[in-house]
């Protein structure tokens, strides 16, 4: 957004149609009252500001927020990452079936237990609650036994696991096993984790996808999402998974692991 605004101020042509897609809805509805345009070449328009006050307000909204509160004042708190993250964790020291909580800030971690050498990060809440079954599934997929005695289990859905401070905390584990959905979103999450953790990160998946193909039931939201999933799988070296996407034309949500 800021790149477009700067070019408008400098009198440089922009892709106005792409610019409109980035405008907040309130500005998009009234863009003809704020801007005048003249097409100068294919996909390029010269843009003149008609309403200086509205343009100044747009510049303020587009400015990167300095905090979550500042982002909320600008109309969208999600534009700024939270300064603190809460992770639910099952570990060997629990006295009941209630998971523990780790509080992670950018410069500190509040943890009330001795963590294990390995961690299984589970995307879905139901699967997280069924952690014994997920540990068994992951162990079979990885070819090694996993037990709560030596492997913590963390709830990592909603992209909370890909936040910078959380990834830094995960670096304290020897192995980080990622049990995510088998779709574009899950593969993108793993790609982010692997980019930060390197060889410590392992994507949990069966060595042979053939018996699992009937569990690929979710129809992709769009062709673009399907194509992205195939591309990510191939880029990560998951050729069998990519082929399963192509064969079924569908994704597999990790709840299907519990469908025994």
Number of Cβ within 10 Å of residue 10's Cβ equals: 7
Regarding whether 245 and 131 lie in a shared domain, the answer is: yes
CA distance to 185, 195, 222, 232, per residue, from 218 (Å): 13, 27, 12, 18
> What does the pLDDT look like over 79-115, one tens digit per residue?
444 578 899 999 999 988 899 999 998 778 999 999 9
245 and 127, same structural domain? yes
Position 67 scores a pLDDT of 44
Q: Which of 35, 62, 79 is the last residue of a domain?
A: 79
Q: CATH number for the domain including 132?
A: 3.40.1360.10
Q: Is the pLDDT reported for residue 72 higher than 80?
A: no
- The verdict on 112 and 216 lying in the same domain is yes
Are 37 and 105 found together in one domain?
no
Residues 123 and 229 in one domain: yes
- Are 10 and 139 in the same domain? no
Mean pLDDT, range 61-88, rounded to an integer: 57
Look at the alpha carbons of 128, 130, 134, 135 in this order and tell me if their dihedral is positive or negative: positive
Based on the fold, state whether residues 61 and 102 are members of the same structural domain.
no
Q: Which of 59, 79, 99 is the last residue of a domain?
A: 79
User: How far is it, in rounded angstroms, from Cα 78 to Cα 75?
Assistant: 9
pLDDT tens across 7-21, in order?
A: 888 889 999 988 998
Instruction: Find the mean pLDDT for residues 156-179.
Output: 90
| Residue 95 exposed, middle or buried by CB count within 10 Å (0-12, 13-18, 19+) | exposed
Statement: residue 152 has pLDDT above 90: yes
Span 233-259, mean pLDDT?
Answer: 93
Domain boundary among 34, 57, 79: 79
25-29, 121-125, 197-201, 232-236: the lowest-pLDDT one: 25-29
Lowest-confidence region among 68-72, 176-180, 215-219: 68-72
Res 232: pLDDT: 92
Instruction: Say yes or no: 44 and 98 in one domain.
Output: no
Looking at the predicted structure, is the pLDDT value of residue 147 above 50? yes
Are 132 and 243 within one domain? yes
What b-and-e string marks burial along 33-64, b requiring 16 or more CB atoms within 10 Å of the CB?
ebbeeeeeeeeebbbeeeeeebbeebeebbee
pLDDT in tens, 43-64: 899 999 998 888 888 887 777 4
Query: How many structural domains comprise the chain?
Result: 2
117 plus 52 within the same structural domain: no
- Asked if 96 and 222 sit in the same domain, the reply is yes
**Is residue 260 very low, low, confident or very high in pLDDT (cuts 50, 70, 90)?**
low
Share of the chain above pLDDT 90, in %: 59
Range of the domain at 178: 84-258
């Amino acid at each position: 957004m800021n790149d477009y605004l700067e070019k408008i101020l400098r009198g440089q042509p922009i892709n106005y149609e792409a610019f409109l897609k980035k405008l907040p809805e309130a500005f998009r509805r009234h863009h003809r009252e704020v801007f005048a345009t003249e097409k100068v070449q294919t996909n390029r328009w010269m843009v003149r500001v008609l309403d200086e006050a509205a343009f100044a307000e747009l510049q303020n909204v587009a400015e990167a927020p300095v905090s979550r509160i500042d982002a909320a004042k600008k109309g969208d708190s999600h534009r700024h990452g939270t300064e603190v993250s809460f992770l639910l964790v099952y570990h060997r020291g629990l006295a009941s079936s209630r998971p523990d909580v780790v509080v992670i800030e950018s410069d500190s971690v509040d943890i009330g237990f001795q963590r294990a050498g390995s961690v299984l990060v589970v995307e879905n809440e139901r699967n997280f609650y069924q952690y014994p079954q997920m540990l068994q599934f992951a162990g079979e997929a990885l070819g090694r036994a996993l037990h709560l005695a030596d492997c913590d289990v963390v709830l990592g859905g909603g992209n909370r696991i890909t936040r910078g401070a959380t990834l830094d905390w995960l670096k304290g584990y020897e192995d980080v096993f990622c049990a995510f959905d088998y779709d574009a979103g899950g593969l993108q999450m793993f790609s982010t984790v692997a980019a930060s953790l390197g060889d410590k990160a392992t994507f949990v998946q069966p060595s042979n996808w053939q018996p699992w193909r009937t569990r690929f039931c979710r129809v992709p939201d769009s062709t673009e999402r399907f194509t992205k999933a195939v591309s990510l799988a191939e880029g990560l070296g998951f050729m069998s998974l990519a082929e399963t996407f192509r064969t079924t034309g569908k994704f597999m949500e990790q709840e299907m692991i519990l469908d025994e």
